[in-house]
Amino acid sequence: MKRIGPLLTLLGGLLLALFMLTLNATTGSASKATSAGDTVSASPTATRPPTTSAPPSPSASPTPAPSRSAPANADYAGRTDDDSSAVAVSLRDGRAIAYFCDGRDQESWLRGDVAEDGSMRLTGKTGGVLAGKLADGRIRGTVDLGGQRHTFTAEKAVKPSGLYRATATVRGAEIDGGWIVLPGGRQVGILNRDGAPGAAPEIDPETGAVTVDGQELTARPVTP
Amino acid sequence: MTVDPNAATQGFASPQPVPRRPGAARFLMPALVAAAVAVALGAYGRVHDPAGTAFNLAGFSSTSAVKSWLATASFGFALVQIVSALMIYGRLPGPGWAAALHRWSGRVAFLVAVPVAVHCLYALGYQTYTPRVMWHSALGCFFFGIFSAKMLLLRSERLPGWLLPVVGGLVFAALTVVWLTSALWFFRTFGVTT
């Protein structure tokens, strides 16, 4: 007699895993389009009232076919040439999301497509245009924001350097923080409380843990 | 009493010697499947680009919180596994349904752990950047490998009496370390939050 129970158990686990994977693959890309990166949210993103720095809308980036030869998935981080601000770019499957941040009050999330030759033109919902080109393992380009042009160079960044974001509601205030962890460990970030920008507390780049107004949040790596 | 009608694998000494060849295959197949499962999961987690995100459940602050609670539930059922196994083997007084309890608590523990593993591998991948993360990644893959082996071994009859307890113990030990390096770490770092 061969018992069938254990096989059914394994099969059940396998089916459940495949089901979850398809759920991830479908809703995952949808949520990626509505919210930049995973967010710490007490309620589903759709039900939250939009903030001034709201994540880009679903129409911002239709999923392109990943089959074309886009630049390899990677993260880049660096500073502007005048050393006033930081820029991070995250590339996935021919799409890019970038974050420009001066650590005080100037910031912009920008997104767009990356051409096969590595050039990109990313636009921000709240203004700002990033024009850059990936070559020799770094992205060089410019960010136009608030009437100023910043030239920047972003080197390839490996974890724990990179681009992080956390959104949550803390004591009734909509919190939206963005951080760039530069190669070498320096951090530049801005925390919005109900749309008002300010300096951000440091995150633990290893865990993404950050304390905002006494509440522990998790900042997560951002992907397009 | 505690005799499981299905526990043929505890093995009464078989009257005639078991043929050598099928015996080897009986152990080899689960071992190979275990290795294949563990390596495949690890390779997927390593090669595939972590999405960094996956769907969340309403009512939880983060996917990590969901996973921590699911993992804790799984670990709780794993503790039931140890007790019910001791009952089946007569080391503890237990009811007649100890075997059914063992089977079903095991199934629940496994099925609850699957979504956690899917999220880990899909969103985070196989990582080695700290010892905690390295052990968690390695033993997480090992857990599903050795669990597959345990399930397949259950189908064989007349195994050496020590084999199932040892493999089952490995499954439990792997799950324990995986839980310690993830859910317990999460609760200690971020507090016991939902």
Mean pLDDT of B66-71: 90
B145: chain A residues, CB-CB within 8 Å: none
What are residue A108's DSSP bridge partners?
A100
Give the pair of three-digit tokens for residue A178.
């963005």
Q: Which residue on chain B is closest to A33 by alpha carbon?
A: B53
pLDDT at A66 over 60: no
Amino acid identity, position A99: Y
B114 to A92: CB separation less than 8 angstroms, yes or no: no
> A152: closest CA among A98, A196, A112, A221?
A98
Q: What is the pLDDT of residue A88?
A: 93
Distance, in angstroms, between B152 CA and closest chain A CA? 7
**Is the peptide bond between B15 and the residue preceding it cis, with omega within 30 degrees of 0?**
no
A206 to B129: CB separation less than 8 angstroms, yes or no: yes
Q: Where are the domains of chain B?
A: 19-50+57-190
Distance, in angstroms, between A62 CA and closest chain B CA? 17
Mean pLDDT of A35-46: 37
ipTM of the assembly? 0.79
B103 in reach of chain A (CB within 8 A): yes
Best B4, B61, B63, B188 residue to mutate vs chain A (most A CBs within 10 Å): B61
B54: chain A residues, CB-CB within 8 Å: 24, 28, 38
Instruction: Let me know the angle formed at the C-alpha of A216 by A215 and A222, rounded to the nearest 5 degrees.
Output: 125
pLDDT at A62 over 50: no
pLDDT at A194 over 60: yes
> A175: closest CA among A56, A29, A42, A47?
A42
Phi and psi torsions of A149, nearest 5°: -110, 125
Computed over every residue of chain A, the mean pLDDT equals: 78
In residues, how long is chain A? 224
Buried (b) or exposed (e) across B30-48, using 16+ Cβ within 10 A?
Answer: bbebbeebbeebbeebeee
Q: What is the pLDDT of residue B59?
A: 61
A94-133 pLDDT, tens per residue? 889 999 998 888 888 998 888 888 889 998 887 789 999 9
B71-111 pLDDT, tens per residue? 999 999 999 999 999 999 988 898 889 999 999 999 999 99
Question: What Å distances lie between residue A48 and A42, A140, A222, CA to CA?
Answer: 9, 36, 19
Own/partner pairs, A198-201, CB within 8 angstroms, 24+ separation: A198/A104, A198/A105, A199/A103, A199/A104, A200/A103
Give the whole-number percent of chain B exceeding pLDDT 70: 81
Top-ranked range on mean pLDDT: pick from A190-199, B25-34, B72-81, B89-98: B72-81
Q: What is the pLDDT of residue A69?
A: 66
Cα within 13 Å of Cα(A212), Cβ side: 30
Shortest CB distance from A10 goes to which of B55, B151, B157? B151
Q: What is the pLDDT of residue A55?
A: 41
Q: What is the pLDDT of residue B22?
A: 58
A206 to B154: CB separation less than 8 angstroms, yes or no: no
Distance, in angstroms, between B92 CA and closest chain A CA? 24
- Confidence class of residue A59 from pLDDT cuts 50, 70 and 90? very low
Least confident of A23-32, A53-62, B52-61: A53-62
B136-169 pLDDT, tens per residue? 999 999 999 999 999 999 988 788 889 999 999 9
pLDDT at A177 over 70: yes
In residues, how long is chain B? 194
Phi and psi torsions of A203, nearest 5°: -100, 155
3-state secondary structure B81-102: HHHHHHHHCCCCCCCCCHHHHH
Largest CA distance in chain A: 79
Distance, in angstroms, between A82 CA and closest chain B CA? 32
DSSP A220: E
pLDDT at A52 over 60: no
Distance, in angstroms, between B77 CA and closest chain A CA? 15
CATH architecture of the domain A69-157 equals Beta Barrel (2.40)
Mean pLDDT of B57-64: 68
Whole-number Å distance between alpha carbons of A208 and A168: 14
Over its C-alpha atoms, chain B yields an Rg (Å, rounded) of: 18
Three-state SS for A27? helix
CB A20 within 8 A of CB B118: yes
Amino acid identity, position A45: T
Q: What is the pLDDT of residue B54?
A: 62
B110: chain A residues, CB-CB within 8 Å: 9, 13
Q: What is the pLDDT of residue B51?
A: 65
Shortest CB distance from A3 goes to which of B106, B154, B190? B154
Q: What is the pLDDT of residue B23?
A: 65
